[in-house]
Amino acid sequence: MNSPKPIDRRRFLSGAVQAASLLALAGCDNLSRSDWFPSLLSNTEKLTRKAQRVLSSRKAMAREYVEADRSAVFPANGNSNPEDADYQAMVNNGFADWKLEIGGLVEKPASFSLAELRQMPSRTQTTRHDCVEGWSAIATWTGVKLGDLLERVRPKPEARFIVFYCADPDEDGQKYYESVDFDEAYHPQTILAYEMNGQALPVPHGAPIRLRIERQLGYKHAKYVMKVEAVESLGTIGGGNGGYWEDQGYEWYAGI
Amino acid sequence: MQEQTPNIEPQPERIYRHALPVRIWHWINALSLFILIMTGFQIFNAHPALYWGDRSDRDKPLLAMRAMKAESGEIKGVTTILGHPFDTTGIFGYSGDKVRGFPSWATIPSGKWLSMGRQWHFFFAWILAINVLIYMTYGFGSRHVKKDLVPTGPDLRNIPTAVKDHLLLRHETGEASKRYNVLQKLSYLGVIFGLLPLIVLTGLTMSPTMDAAFPFLLDLFGGRQSARTIHFATCFLFVGFIVVHVSQVILTGFFNNIRSMLTGWFTVQTTGVAHEQSETH
């Protein structure tokens, strides 16, 4: 065999590897910006959701911790003080006039003041908040079970999702919203929390109430919830993907 | 290294070394791992710090990549490991005039794009996990694992010699090169039955729904943040494996090895070559 000298071969190989990696990386970036490839990738979300539903029972409970496990500092991600005049007015009078509206495809639309929510049976849970960025923080949350509220307003049979409309706008004025299916909405740990670590929910964490969806990632846990609506489809709401971050490419099913 | 004197070139023997399922498995694995590692760095960059336990106490990271402004006004990339800071400007913490954990050449997509990195990561995680399950079924069913990968008694007794040979870059030729050597067997077994299941399980432990379904995962790895740290460490063991594996492929005859993993056919280097190599190594 007439092999090239080892040094030439080595130079050839390392040159080839470098060229190939650059091409491969540019190729991956092109794929990310194409139409078809992200659409292929997005099938994973359905597969993951179905697989996790098979592996995990509807009522499987997220781990509950003890008070000693609480984070000393619980980061407030996303909006921490909504730049919205109506919201700021509510903060200034201690949410005395705030009412949670529950409507959409329900038999008996209703609205609840903070005092009324506080009088209803409550659930307190010390749970881990897992951010999509990768960090986790633990806090104790007290609130009313979403399932209890839904039983009062009685969703119609055609309703399939519960949507949460929030007070916090982004720089473009687009307000935060989120949605969950009925499995998650009626889960015993799904609460609208008005207390964090035994204190009234602070503004950076979503006063007067925030959603806790303990088996999904942090962006599902909408803060500053103003209105709850039962709907049949998510397609006509916001960007049509079921949530603020979902409209920007994040998965609607955030169980992983 | 190949022989330099054409006169004594013996007739090469060719053997069918890798069965088709193994070859397909290998390349799917190679592609998936390459993408999973680089999309993993993209995801890691969203919060480039690691912790132990259930929660992330920001003041107590095991490892953190940050950008800091030096007194001169220059921005530096600083990687802190167990409280010890290292200047990693240009690689970790700050690279290409951007504050980021891993540099853009190491991540997919190259720019900051967490949602897209996640989409890629989970797609190829499914492929890798299914590939591993198929391999394990095939590997036991066809006796490939038992026949080719489990070390024999003589293999195990030969470990010290094998280590020495590897360090001196002396490689098997002739009959011995038709089989995997003991270090190869142990590293392949370690990857297939150690690292692969570990990286899948620690990945699943980061899923809040999986933690609700299988709370023992949290106990097994010591919490979600510990699982994230083990996932990251296992990723680096894979990177280490790939570096050694590819170096060995290059050192023991790059084209012959690549051909054998593409077509199955491997050319056996004869003892004549070995003799010459041992004189010139």
| B212 vs A64: CA distance, rounded Å | 10
Q: Is the CB of residue B205 less than 8 Å away from at least one CB of chain A? A: no
| Residue A6: predicted pLDDT | 59
Taking CB atoms and an 8 Å cutoff, what residues of chain B touch A52?
207, 209-210, 213
Domain co-membership, B174 together with B71: no
Interface check B64 vs A, CB under 8 A:
no
Residues of A with CB below 8 A from B55's CB? 69, 71, 128, 136-138
Partner B, chain A 158-197, Cβ-Cβ below 8 Å: none
> Burial of B252 by CB count in 10 Å (0-12 exposed, 13-18 middle, 19+ buried)?
middle
Residues B35 and B62 both lie in one domain: no
> Nearest CA of chain A to the CA of B88: how many Å?
22
Instruction: Give per-residue pLDDT as tens, B56-91.
Output: 999 999 999 999 998 899 999 999 999 999 999 999
Residue A9: pLDDT band with limits 50, 70, 90: confident
Q: Determine contact, residues B64/B79, Cβ cutoff 8 Å.
A: yes
> What does the pLDDT read at residue B280?
37
Beta pairing partners, A136: A130
Same domain, B95 and B232: no
Residue B265 lies in a domain: yes
Which residues of chain A does B218 touch, with a Cβ-Cβ cutoff of 8 Å? 63
Q: How far apart are CA B112 and CA B126, in angstroms?
A: 23
Instruction: CATH number of the domain at B262, please.
Output: 1.20.950.20
Q: Are residues B62 and B160 in the same domain?
A: no
Distance from CA of A165 to the nearest CA of B (A): 22
pLDDT band at B255 (very low <50, low <70, confident <90, very high): very high
Q: Assess whether B115 and B190 both reside in one domain.
A: yes
Check whether residue B13 and residue B58 sit in a common domain. Answer: no
B1, part of any domain: no
The predicted-structure confidence for A67-85, as pLDDT tens digits, reads as follows: 999 999 999 999 999 999 9
CA distance B132 to chain A (A): 17
What residue in A sits closest to B117 (Cα-Cα)? A32
For chains A and B, count residue pairs whose Cβ atoms are closer than 8 Å.
144
Q: A123, A101, A97: which is closest to A112 by C-alpha?
A: A101
**ipTM confidence score:** 0.92
CA distance B68 to B77: 6
Query: Is the CB of residue A9 less than 8 Å away from at least one CB of chain B?
Result: yes
Domains of chain A listed by start with CATH number: 62-248 (3.90.420.10)
Work out how many domains chain B is built from and give that number. Answer: 2
